[in-house]
Structure 1
Amino acid sequence: MDRLLYVAMTGAKHTQLRQATVAHNLANASTTGFRAELAAFRAVPALGQGYATRAFAVEQTTGADLSSGPFQQTGNDLDVSIDGRGWIAVQSATGEAYTRNGQFAVDSTGLLKTVSGLVVQGETGPLLIPENTRPSIAPDGTVSAVSLDNPAESNEIGRIKLVNPADTDLQKGNDGLFRLRGGDAAQADAAVKLINGGLEGSNVNTIDQLTAMIATQRQYDLQVRMMQAADQNARAASQLLQMNS
């Protein structure tokens, strides 16, 4: 009875957390390059004197779904998508991070950035686009500056840092960016290629997530009924003890 109450109580709490994960995925179903978060439940024994009969149900985010999202043609020369495996390196507030969102723009200083304001990392540093030019991005990540006065004139600026670390080495942050678990910077991989003129959509399957939301709500209701059953059992046991005393 004691075990039933604790399992149901913690199960209800962490079912709510799982619902939040599902809701977060659904909210980002149209976010460029978004990777759906995965969650799972596990049982954890309660440690300490007097807790031998108690166990907890805990929900935890086990990682992210790293499968590719659908390609969406935009026709914008500054929109790129990873062709297959790989990541684009950007500079975040905590250091180098990685994204699949290839929606770029040039700011007022000429820096190539993502639309969210993160500086796109080149293999030798940030990429600065000269005035009176427009950037051109090749499939290998090479960025060139094409003169607006003479389109035949093009100068290579640098190469976007494209990486392809093992999936097990990556972890997703609260900002939606990925980083190496050890905190180091990944090495550039020349085998990673880009597709110009389009973006990769979110890999969230809305039907699966809506189904998961319904199932999670039903699971929460079940946990609440289990707590009520445990309370009723405790009351009945108390009455029997009073009658026998």
Structure 2
Amino acid sequence: MDRMLYISMSGAKEVMLAQANNANNLANATTDGFKQDFNEFRAQHMQGPGWHTRTYALDERPATDFTPGAVKVTGRELDVMVQPNGFLAIQTPEGDEAFTRTASMQLTADGDLVDVNGHPILNVGGAPINIPPSRNITIGDDGTISIVPEGSPSNQLVVLDQLRLVEPDIKQLQKGLDGFIRLPQGEAPPQQANVKVVSGALESSNVNTAEALVNMIELSRKYEMQVKMMSTAKTHAQKSDQLLSLR
């Protein structure tokens, strides 16, 4: 009965991993710019003498869904989103470059331009952007940052910098366990791309809440099935012990 028991235990463990992935998607249904992760099961055949009859379930996160989310109009100048296939570059806590489709940008006390989570926004050269004291900040549709310096007339716009906008191959993008979207290690950084920026709007999460809830119910039933199989294996073992004791 060990075959049945261990296969059921493996299935239950993998269903729990799938449930965790689905729960993460559902928890970020209202997180602007979040991209949901796909999830799938596959059969994992055991190799080696005496193991060919055993096939275990394996849960995988094969890719991330980069389908655009809904547009949420905010009217705030520092809320930006990049049109489909384009990405905005930010700096992670590790110091490397990551990509996002939207950012609710803020200014720190030192004038650094960061996203809502405090990650620096990068310019064309890949360096963090710093904004001097100003009366107004405007983001152009090409990512150009213009300001009205403090103490200057309201019609005196000065072009300060430009956002780093890229258009990498989506098939190459990977989402790490830290939630950042990057190119695989060793890949050359993408060049500045001619993509459009929409100011005063944010891209919502692309998680379908109803679908995620249905998946949660389906995975719960799969888990219950695996637990029942373990219980059945225990019952069979007890019956076998009873039969052996009669001899």
Deviations 1:19-70 (Å, cap 9, x if unpaired)?
1111111111100100111111122234456544433212121121110000
The secondary structure found in structure 2 opposite 1:195 is strand
Structure 1: how far apart are the matches of 2:203 and 2:209?
A: 16
Give how far 1:158 is off: 1.6
Deviations 1:155-191 (Å, cap 9, x if unpaired)?
2122111111112211102232101112445323433
Which amino acid in the other structure matches residue 100 of structure 1? R
Asked if the contact 1:102–1:114 (Cα under 8 Å) also holds between the matched residues in 2, the reply is: yes
1:141 to 140, 143, 160: 143
Partner of 1:128: 130
Structure 1: how far apart are the matches of 2:186 and 2:31?
A: 26
The secondary structure found in structure 2 opposite 1:229 is helix
1:33 is the counterpart of 2:33: yes
Deviations 1:97-154 (Å, cap 9, x if unpaired)?
1112311011111121111111111012222212134321111111112235312111
1:191 to 189, 194, 200: 194
Partner of 2:11: 11
The secondary structure found in structure 2 opposite 1:102 is strand
The secondary structure found in structure 2 opposite 1:213 is helix
Structure 1: how far apart are the matches of 2:60 and 2:108?
A: 39
2:172 to 163, 169, 175: 169
Structure 2: how far apart are the matches of 1:238 and 1:54?
A: 24
Partner of 1:160: 163
Q: Which deviates the most, 186-195 or 91-100?
A: 186-195
Under a length normalisation based on structure 2, what TM-score does the superposition of the two structures give? 0.91
CA RMSD of aligned residues (A): 1.9
Structure 1: how far apart are the matches of 2:159 and 2:36?
A: 36
Which amino acid in the other structure matches residue 129 of structure 1? I
Give how far 1:220 is off: 0.4
Asked if the contact 2:124–2:192 (Cα under 8 Å) also holds between the matched residues in 1, the reply is: no
Normalized per residue, the structure richer in strand is: 1
Structure 2: how far apart are the matches of 1:71 and 1:80?
A: 11
Structure 2: how far apart are the matches of 1:215 and 1:53?
A: 27
Q: Which deviates the most, 215-224 or 60-69?
A: 60-69
Partner of 1:85: 85
The secondary structure found in structure 2 opposite 1:202 is coil
The secondary structure found in structure 1 opposite 2:102 is coil
Asked if the contact 1:127–1:157 (Cα under 8 Å) also holds between the matched residues in 2, the reply is: no
Structure 2: how far apart are the matches of 1:140 and 1:186?
A: 20
Structure 2: how far apart are the matches of 1:133 and 1:48?
A: 71
For the structure 1 residues 184 and 119, does the alpha-carbon distance in structure 2 shift closer, same or farther, using more than 3 Å as the test?
A: farther
Under a length normalisation based on structure 1, what TM-score does the superposition of the two structures give? 0.91
Which amino acid in the other structure matches residue 108 of structure 1? A
* Structure 2: unaligned runs, 5 residues or longer: none
Partner of 1:210: 213
* Structure 1: unaligned runs, 5 residues or longer: none
Structure 2: how far apart are the matches of 1:182 and 1:143?
A: 30
Which amino acid in the other structure matches residue 101 of structure 1? T
Structure 2: how far apart are the matches of 1:134 and 1:83?
A: 24
The secondary structure found in structure 1 opposite 2:171 is helix
Partner of 2:75: 75
The secondary structure found in structure 2 opposite 1:176 is coil
